[in-house]
Chain A
Amino acid sequence: MNAIASERAVVAGPPEPGRLAGLTDRVAAVAAEHLDRTDRDAVFPVEALDEMRRTGLLGLLVPVEYGGLGGGLRDMIEACVSLGRVDLSVAMIFSMHCQQVAAVVEHGDERLRTELLPRIADGKIYVASVTTEAGKGGHLLTSEAALDTTGDELDVDRFAPIVTGGAHADGFLVTMLAPGATSPHQVSLVYAHRDQLVVEQTGDWQPLGMRASHSVALRLRGRVPEHHVVGGQGDFRAIVTSVFGPMAHLGWSASWLGTAAGALSRVVRMLRSPENRNRVDLGSELLLTRLSQARRRLDTVHALLTQTERTVSRSPDLSLPRIQLQLNALKITAAEECFAVVDGLIEAVGMRHGYLKGSPTRLEHALRDLRSASLNYSNDRLHLADGKLALLDPEVRFV
């Protein structure tokens, strides 16, 4: 079943038009102030996160009855695009937090929801995702480390090689094997608050791009009460199909689209600026063609994003092959096209404004960040899944 359809927004009422834009603008302004430093030093954008806490944006998807903004999928997408225009790391941090919140809203025990959601809405809890595991090659649906049961509590002991924002998160949603699991497919999702864990950070974070996402290796050890299991024991797959998968692909794609759109916007503004108008030949056919290509790619991704959001909101069962294919097509297309937009813009504007740091176009930064898109849940792996899914849909029907 699809658990993240817009029914929640119907109950809670979406944030008034304009209000959400005002909140994301505040976060974007703080992100803009710090992005050169957070990128250069590969440090977490603490200031932008603090503004997300203050504005209540961390509680965007928390229903109004728990004190949140009561936003829906479309609100999250709009926020990701806006933040992505300024800083992809900040947008991805926000999008992944929203994904965790949606899982708790839709699949959490009522006791956990009552304890956790008001604190998220209050800006006190930023939740990081712990789904990576050494030795499983990015497989989301299996796990090797197992939960143990001691009395009414669950023992958590888990190493994760990449946890975005792990050093700054106030809580974690962790995938682990269900207690007594007989196969690596019996995966559970558990919430652990930072003070319930001993968190050890290992290794360094020095990547090509997404440097401010500060995605470190962590070892988590501790105990959590049993009602912290989100969804049934061993039932993580249902959460992936109904929440994690669609939220990830929509949120990431929106963030990438925002970054590529921001890049084109800054290039067009530069080209149109009074000081450049006489220096650049705006009638150049090569330049016009390159601008056209960039814009066409953005419109393609935007159309697919809009359609996929509609599909997810309206479909009661997201596990059907044609729906999975559309969700994967969005992720693969957004990853490839958004990177290609910025790559093409670098060709269009050349060395100084395309390749060097310090240009107001910030293309160099955007290109490095967007290079991660095809790797962030690997396009190669999705193509293999899509090939199999295509074989399951011989009529080739569309949604």
Chain B
Amino acid sequence: MNLQDLQWGLMMMVVGMGTVFALLALLMVVLMGIGRLDRKRPHLPPPPAHEAAPAEATPTVHIVADGLDEDQVAAITVAVMTHAEHRRRLAAPETRAHAPGSQLFASRWLAVGRGRESSPFPRERR
């Protein structure tokens, strides 16, 4: 290896690294530009509404659905909730975790154990 080869190698290293860094810098500029373009403009607060005097406000009825007004919807809601609570008090089928007597959680342990509690005399084996 002579001095000329060493210079050539150093030059290639500088050119290569310079190219890479130059491209990275270009990429950074491009990305920043895209980011700036995508950034939303902050919404300005709407101009303050012209506040009407309370005396001038007119009562409005909001139609909610199917021709029912808010009072009707409220009355129906209360009726449905009351009915649901009544059904729950009666343990109606739709409120139960499982059918009565199904003992879904129960194990053989419980079935056998309760049987022994009810009739503790052991059955004779024949």
Report if A and B associate in a common complex: no
Instruction: Give the interface of B toward A (CB within 8 A).
Output: none
